[in-house]
Chains A and B, each alone.
Chain A
Amino acid sequence: MATERLEIVCPAGTPAALRTAVDAGADSVYCGFNDETNARNFPGLNFSRAEMAVGIAYAAARGVKVLVAINTFPRAGSEALWHRAVDDALACGAHAVILADIGLLAYAAERHPDRRLHLSVQAAASNADAINFYAETFGIRRVVLPRVLTVEEIAAINREIDVETEVFIFGGLCVMAEGRCSLSSYATGRSPNMHGVCSPASHVAYAEEGEDLVARLGGFTIHRVPKAVAAPYPTLCKGCFQTGDYRGHIFEDPVSLDAATLMPQLARAGVRALKIEGRQRSRAYVEQVVRAFRRASEAEAAGQPIPKSELWRLTEGQQTTAGAYRKTWR
């Protein structure tokens, strides 16, 4: 039986990636400005105001929506930078802005009462009470749920809220309390929450020592990977450490999320949109992943089996997991 197709929300770190996502079948594309207002503030990445306007026009001409992520937390005394980002994104024609900070939500709701506000995963709203607070207070229309909930928990939340839910379906897997994690700050003084960078490249150093690849973050050695073993991102949460007699990935294994096979269950749980992680990734990644998930969402809507993909080749750790959606531990 055919049902309404799940919306595929695709990442774009550059104008070229945005065009690639649109051409590959994205329903919507999320991106950010080239400053600390967005949580992927990496060198050489993101959009100037002019590029954002052109990108939104390109997408709009093809029926694709652009969502602008302004999802870091403003520094006290520098709120104007974040306010300007909200104003400029909406002036450029963004379908919605994705926000995390309560003060910024209040600003956007007051100044732009008729525009769509989405609650970023960085707000870590993981229960119906929190989501209903944001909906009643700021009028958010959609919440991006943290990557720590089971499908059953998502269904339970959806029964108690009136806003749309968007969940991560593929890509880097952050299982920390997003927007609250201080691991990167601890090692480097910079964080995704305040500066838009988790494990900033300025503090990352790789070296080949013999046959090992060694990764250091802020001077701490966090990986030593033997030859022919997949290299992970230089994040502390996926670091390899020794505690007592145990040596291994204390917090989290370096694997990536791929919940494609759970799309029918997520649809039945009331999810409206599926988010692909990876604004820091290339056009090649965007093209392959978006095309695969567009096919998958069409298959799901038509009641057909989800097509198999070879997307593990693109993932951290070169292996994938359904993450917390299929959580059996507690």
Chain B
Amino acid sequence: MDRRELIPTFPAAAASLLRGLPPAVIEALLSRLVAVTTERHPRLFDRLGAHATSRYLIDPTDLPFVLILHPAAADGRLRVLPRGTAEPREARIGGPLAALLGLIHGRYDGDALFFSRDLVIEGDTEAVLALRNAIDDAEIDLSVEALHGLGPLRALAAPPLARILPLVERLTGVSLSRPTRESLEHGY
């Protein structure tokens, strides 16, 4: 019996496509997402405390790039770099993209992912714990944050997204939004 939680990995073909995208485009999109999220969840910074000044290397191991998250930075809280770039950081959090998204959405438990070796942490362990706990308390839903990032287009985008998202989640097993109470009760 496989005793490991099965975490889906990002398809290699899709990762190759991403490799063709300029990092500046990905950085602009993700920076907007981070800006909206931190604006809508100001308590994130309360829980991070002094660790808001830490630089976190977020390493989605099945993608061709890594992220540097620097919560306290006035500009450029998030940067996208090709994998292997030497960049100063206080901590590294690595794992498949699906594991990282599941952590943000409260689908997976961080300690359980660590026990099962699906998540790797290095560097300042205290900073990693502070970030993990702050995100867990914030109850972030990236699909909702992304909609808020669309500004006036939000009302237009919301209905199709509400239909497509659950379908994509079921097909891929990747958590793209916060689990609903119904999905938690029925274990999907």
Contacts and interface: CB of A to CB of B under 8 A. Distances in A.
Nearest to B106: A283
A316 B49 contact: no
B51 interface: yes
Interface in A1-33: 13-17, 20, 23-24
Contacts of B133: 13-14, 42-45
Contacts of A20: 106
B137 A284 contact: no
A16 B111 contact: no
Contacts of B47: 14, 44
A315 interface: yes
A317 B115 contact: yes
B185 interface: yes
Contacts of A230: 115-117
A284 B109 contact: yes
Given A43-B51, A204-B125, A291-B185, A282 B136 contact: yes
B106 A284 contact: yes
A206 interface: yes
Interface residues of A, number: 45
A315 B40 CA distance: 33
**Residue among A13, A281, A291 having the largest count of chain B Cβ atoms under 10 Å:** A281
Contact of A206 (B107, B116, B122): B122
27 contacts: A14-B133, A14-B136, A42-B133, A43-B127, A44-B47, A44-B49, A44-B51, A44-B137, A201-B126, A206-B122, A213-B120, A227-B117, A229-B117, A230-B117, A231-B115, A231-B116, A280-B111, A282-B109, A282-B111, A284-B106, A285-B112, A312-B3, A313-B3, A313-B116, A314-B111, A316-B111, A318-B4
Contact of B115 (A15, A16, A206, A315): A315
Interface in B116-142: 116-117, 120-123, 125-134, 136-139
Interface of A: 13-17, 20, 23-24, 42-45, 200-202, 204-208, 213, 227-233, 280-285, 287-288, 291, 312-319
A231 B4 CA distance: 12
A285 B109 contact: yes
A206 B121 contact: yes
B126 A318 contact: no
A313 B112 contact: yes
B185 to A, nearest CB: 7
**Residue among B126, B127, B133, B184 having the largest count of chain A Cβ atoms under 10 Å:** B133
Contacts of B58: none
Given A45-B133, A204-B125, A213-B117, A16 B139 contact: yes
A233 B108 CA distance: 18
B111 to A, nearest CB: 6
Q: Is the interface of B mostly helix, strand, loop or mixed?
A: helix
A198 B117 CA distance: 22
A44 B132 contact: yes
Interface in B67-82: none
Nearest to B131: A44
B112 A44 contact: no
B117 A43 contact: no
Contacts of B110: 282
A319 B117 CA distance: 14
A42 B136 CA distance: 14
B122 to A, nearest CB: 6
Nearest to A199: B125
Given A44-B49, A44-B134, A285 B184 contact: no
Question: Can you list the 10 inter-chain pairs with the closest CB atoms, starting with the nearest?
Answer: A44-B133, A14-B137, A44-B130, A43-B130, A201-B126, A285-B109, A284-B109, A204-B125, A201-B125, A283-B106
A232 B111 contact: no
A70 B130 CA distance: 21
Contacts of B100: none
Contacts of A284: 102, 106-109, 112
B87 interface: no
B106 A282 contact: yes
Contacts of B106: 16, 20, 282-284, 287
Contacts of A281: 109, 111
A312 B112 CA distance: 9
B170 interface: no
B48 interface: yes
Given A17-B136, A282-B109, A282-B110, A316 B115 contact: yes
A299 to B, nearest CB: 17
A233 B115 CA distance: 8
Contacts of A231: 114-117
A16 B104 CA distance: 13
B182 interface: no
